[in-house]
Amino acid sequence: MIFIDCDGVLSNTVGHLLKAVNEVRKAQPYATEEDITNFDFRKCPGLSREEQELCYRRLASPGFAGELSTCGGADAFLEGLRGIGRVVCLTSPMRGASDWVYCRAEWLEARGFSPKDIVQCTDKALLCAAVTDVLIDDAAHNIAEWPGMRVLIDRPWNRAYDGARYNYRTALEHIRYMARFSPLQRRVY
């Protein structure tokens, strides 16, 4: 079983937020993904205090989780993963967003996930004991806590992470390679 995160791996959450930030800026220089250096937007020096707060308000706004586009390359990546094994989306709901869980489930179902392959919880470490082959995430803290095979998708906000980071192509190659070994052997790598 392959656990995959949604925000930043499948859904282009940051891109959607940056669109709102740039509408407020109305002038160059526009904010880019490189300005998002931390999951806590209040710790992103490339964003003003007003822009940081706008990101949190936008995240909590009704329907936000259902409006997101897919990250470039994510659809093909997901298709490749499904060729390896069962893919389960392990995603965190947004605090303060009244319809996040419902909208996120609809968004994932529209991308081929069945309801039983969607898990929404804020502490991914709770599922560490699950029989799974790999966790794919863009949050270094989730990867660091995971005892099994893990793949960190390279994003500006995880560049301080000491371990390996992958793009979709190299992640898929790595997972395909590791799928050749038994689950016990995979944990060694």
**Cα dihedral: 161, 187, 132, 9 (round 10):** 20
Q: What is the pLDDT of residues 80-120, one digit of tens each?
A: 999 998 999 988 888 888 899 999 999 999 999 999 999 99
The three-class DSSP label of residue 40 is coil
* Reported pTM: 0.82
Which range among 13-17, 111-115, 131-135, 139-143 has the greatest average pLDDT? 111-115
**What is the sign, positive or negative, of the torsion defined by CA atoms of 44, 77, 108, 67?**
positive
Q: How far is CA 47 from CA 123, 138, 184, in A?
A: 27, 20, 44
Contacts of 60 (CB under 8 A, 6+ apart): 94, 95, 96, 97
Domain ranges of the chain: 2-11+68-186, 13-67
Is the per-residue pLDDT at 138 higher than 50?
yes
Superfamily holding 2-11+68-186:
HAD superfamily/HAD-like (3.40.50.1000)
